[in-house]
Structure formats: C-alpha cells, structure tokens
Amino acid sequence: MKKLVAGNWKMHGVASDLAEVKAIADASREYRGVDVALCVPAILIERATRAVPGFPIGGQDVHFAEKGAHTGCISARMLLDAGATLTIVGHSERREAQRESDEEVKAKAEAALNAGLAVILCVGESDSDRGSGRALEVVDRQAERSLPDAATGQLAVAYEPIWAIGTGKIPTLEQIAEMHAALRQRLIAAYADAGREVRILYGGSVKPSNAAEIFAVPNVDGALVGGASLKAADFMPIVAAAAASKVEGSHEAA
Ligand code: 13P
C-alpha cells in the first residue's frame, strides 16, 4: 500500500509560511511512491493551493451540515471551493476542547467523503486509558462508533495516542503494531475486504529520528505529523523514510 505522510499544521501558519508549503510541495515531487499532504489552517487553504497547484492541501476539521446557521464553521463544499482535497476529522484536540462526540465525528467523516474530500479520521487513547490497560478497548470503541457507515471515497484512519502528541514520547513499536492490527480488524469488520485498503496512519511525536522504525511496523501505512511538519527540513526526512520503507503487498490483521 502506498504510504501517506500528512502534516497537520494545527494553529500555525500565516502568509509568510507559504514558502515552507512550497518547499515541501516541491521536494515531495521527488517521492512519487509516497502520498504527501498538508492540512493547514482554513484561512490559508486557498492561498496554499494557489501557491502549489496540484499538491494536496487539506483542512483540519469540517462541519457535518451542508450549510446553515453554524457560526464559525466550515462545510465540505467550502473546503472544496477553497481548493482542499482532504480534511482531518476527530482530532483529539477537537474531541477534547470542542467536546466532539464519536457520533459527530462520524457525521463529519460521512459529509466530507460524500462531498468528495479524502478524510483522515483520528482516534487515540489518553494517558490514563493506557495506564489502566484499556487502550485497545477505548480506541476500538472510538473507531467502531466514529467510522463512516461505508468506506466509499478515500478514508484513512490515524492512530494518535493523546499522550504522545507534542510530548516527544511514542508508544513502543509493539504497542503500535498491536493497535494498528486491532484497527485493521475493526476496518475489516466494518467494510469486509475494502477494510484492508484503508490506510492506518500513526501520529504523535513522529520525527526524522523515529520515522523509519515506525514505518517498518506492520499495518503502519503512513503518518500524521504535527510539529515536525512545519518546516521542510524536518518534514522531508520523514517523507524520505516513508519512501524508503518496504511496501507490503497486502495487510493481514495479526
Ligand atoms: P506532533 O507530531 O506534534 O506530536 O502532533 C501529532 C498530531 O497531533 C498530528 O495530528
């Protein structure tokens, strides 16, 4: 499966940072074997797509409604209109701060996919879930409840342990393998054979120094990168590691 390395710029980026978007898009052309994308702040999407025509630019959230009285929100059609081709949904920072439920995340994913956007749907356990031995159970329930009913269009799932985001800590490679295998099982349960083709990304403190070992883990089909996606100098070695990793023919759940 072709790997996907997506950057999540979160609330970083103004016009002067378009030079980094351009540097990343230009350098990514050398890695045809990897899909690369950047999810930038909504207000930067249109300028980013004009700066790098043809390079995938995404949003970081989308509303589930087509339009209406939703102050401050952005619809799938608006993202497409600005030139976006994908969006993140269900990031833990939104699940927490905006109190987004699994049901809401599912509705957002379905709205985006139906409109023609690719979707990166995030799941992940808290520190206390991991500490109490409930990580697999919590993430599986999140996935079960927030996955769209049909895997139509382009869906990817991102496993992002909350305690690994922005902390420099990552799970052991065994823990990543275990979680990604469980997510693969969940995707196969939801979509039968089509569930084998849904990419499962790892996110949380992915850096140039750990990317290669993470990409070598079975069922890791790419990465969702926060801090290290802001600069081409940090991001491109991660893309290069994805390009160098062995491409598996098929994915079997462990
Ligand atoms: P960091 O790579 O900064 O840990 O962020 C991960 C993340 O939340 C990507 O969505």
Q: Is 66 a catalytic residue?
A: no
Interval 53-79 mean pLDDT: 98
Q: What percent of the chain has pLDDT over 70?
A: 97
Beta strands in the chain (DSSP E): 3-8, 34-39, 57-59, 86-89, 118-123, 155-159, 199-203, 222-225
Q: Is the CB of 204 under 6 A from ligand 1?
A: yes
Phi and psi at 40, nearest 5°, equal -105, 170
Q: Which of 100, 104, 125, 160 is catalytic?
A: 160
pLDDT of the residue at 117: 98
Burial 119-134 (b: 16+ CB within 10 A, else e): bbbbbbbbeebbeeee
**Ligand 1: centre distance to CA 244 (Å):** 22
- Residue 251 scores a pLDDT above 70: no
Mean pLDDT of all residues belonging to the chain: 95
pTM: 0.96
Give the pLDDT band (50/70/90) at residue 254: very low
User: Whose CA is closest to atom 2 on ligand 1?
Assistant: 226
Catalytic site residue 91? yes
Which pLDDT belongs to residue 248? 53
Q: Which two tokens stand for residue 41?
A: 């702040």
Average of per-residue pLDDT across 179-194:
97
With H, G, I as helix, E, B as strand and everything else as coil, classify residue 203: strand
Q: Which residues, including other chains, have CB under 8 Å from residue 178's CB and lie 6 or more apart? A: 136, 254
Cα dihedral sign, 219-224-229-232: positive
Residue with tokens 């709205």: 111
pLDDT digits (tens, 9 = 90+) for 136-186: 999 999 999 999 998 777 999 999 999 999 999 999 999 999 999 999 999
Provide the CB-side half-sphere exposure for 94 (13 A, CA): 20
Our mutation pick for probing the ligand 1 site, out of 165, 170, 230, counting the most ligand atoms within 8 A of Cβ, is: 165
Distance 202 CA to ligand 1 centre (A): 10
Note the pLDDT tens digit of each residue in 81-96: 999 999 999 999 999 9
CB of 166 shorter than 6 A to ligand 1: yes
Which pair of structure tokens corresponds to residue 183?
A: 């997510």
Mean pLDDT lowest for which of 66-80, 150-164, 237-251? Answer: 237-251
Mean pLDDT lowest among 44-58, 108-122, 146-160, 192-206:
146-160
226 lines ligand 1 (CB under 6 A): yes
By percentage, how much of the chain surpasses pLDDT 90?
95
Read off the pLDDT of residues 24-53 as tens digits, 9 standing for 90 and up: 999 999 999 999 999 999 999 999 999 999
Is the pLDDT confidence value at 75 over 60?
A: yes
